[in-house]
Structure 1
Amino acid sequence: MRGIRDGHGLHLMGSILAAADRGARIENNILAFEPSDLRGQLRRGKEANLIVFVVDASGSMSARDRLSAVTGAVQSLLVDAYQRRDKVTVISVRGTQPELILPPTGSIDIAMKRLADVRTGGRTPLGEGLLMAQELVDRELRREPGRRPLLVVLSDGRATSSSGLAGVQQAANAIALRGVMTSVVIDCESGRTRLGLAVSLAQQLGGTCLQLTELNAESVVSSIQVF
């Protein structure tokens, strides 16, 4: 099955075929997706989702762009998720430690207030942010075991905290071994020289890496499992 638009989850092969039909090219082992390429599967059941954003808020302008895309995506998801009782949560990765800036909520008002004034800059404790995401999911599943968790990481894969890339790999492997959530890494790496760290992170998580041609709320929403 090639997958369908607005389907359930991420139908990877269907998305790749749609991109190929459009004429997308592979450069540096990365296929550049557009939002219109993404396909899902036919929905089965009405499980509620728990969507966990881990967003790299280190740096300046690029970090603000990532947060803006996440804020718009959260608003869009919650508008559409009322009947499914979906919840969204956001972890900011910056400074010395990650910060839970939006605890799991289904309230648009709460989400918009919490996301209105988030600081950026500093180091990138990515590994610590991934561990926080796993701990949060474990807590939520103990309360509501029927929820379907999805981890969405917006990052270039760099880590500049004390634990470094080794900490990222350790956290990612722990998440993959735990095996309770689907993972999507949205590659935010820019510039001509590409290190491919986001691709490696997705592989370590046992998930999918997407490089979006345009990072905005629409493209983020189109990339994740919400239907």
Structure 2
Amino acid sequence: MANNYKLTKHGTDFFEDPTFYISIVGALQYANVIRPDITYCVNNVCQFLDKPCNSHWTAVKRILRYLQGTQTMGLTIKPVGHSSNLSITAFCDADWASDIDDRNSTSGACLYLGPNVVTCWSKKQRTIPRSSIEAEYRSLALASQEIMWLESLLKELQITYHTPAIFCDNLSTVVMSHNPVLHNRTKHIELDLYFVRDKIQSKTLIVKHIPSEFQTSNIFIKPLPNTQFITLRNQFRIQDYNSAD
């Protein structure tokens, strides 16, 4: 999507063939399996299936043109040796009050097992956060929950791994996750606070700060400039099949 481009459900220029719109957007969801770089865009256009407008169809056509120009690209998987423990790394972020219709925030995250992406998502938060820290912390809790599921799977398969690490670009969120003291301003997210903090204190999870320009999950929460988008796309190992190593 174009940088700083926002879609809205309010409009009168309704698309003339809603069924066609639904079928195309539905097909794009399957492309997410090997093309996580379009996750945010597809999630965005899926929110207008009931009454699509021409502006929504324009966004869909932009996605189709992008896929047409990158037909030979896809998610590549790099084999990992058995000599050492696997690393579990997650990147999480949130775009506070990004939806111009209901002011819900968008959470985005991706989880790496070794050098490979094993899961990623872009979704609207169910509740309206009152601060950017709350939005970021809910995203952090969701990423922690996903790591717990992956850990249980690896334990069942008897695969050893290093202590998981989550990278967040909001310094206040990182500090709050390590702070053993709860404040009145954080009572509305107390469950998420305890959930993440208990794992940190038991040393089964590491939460670290990362500068925003290196935050991989930015690609799941908002439109980005071309240069930044391509840089983050490469971090997912989305490569040309003809030249992938």
TM-score, normalised via structure 2 length: 0.31
Name the structure with the higher strand share: 1
Name the structure with the higher helix share: 2
Which structure has the greater CA radius of gyration? 2
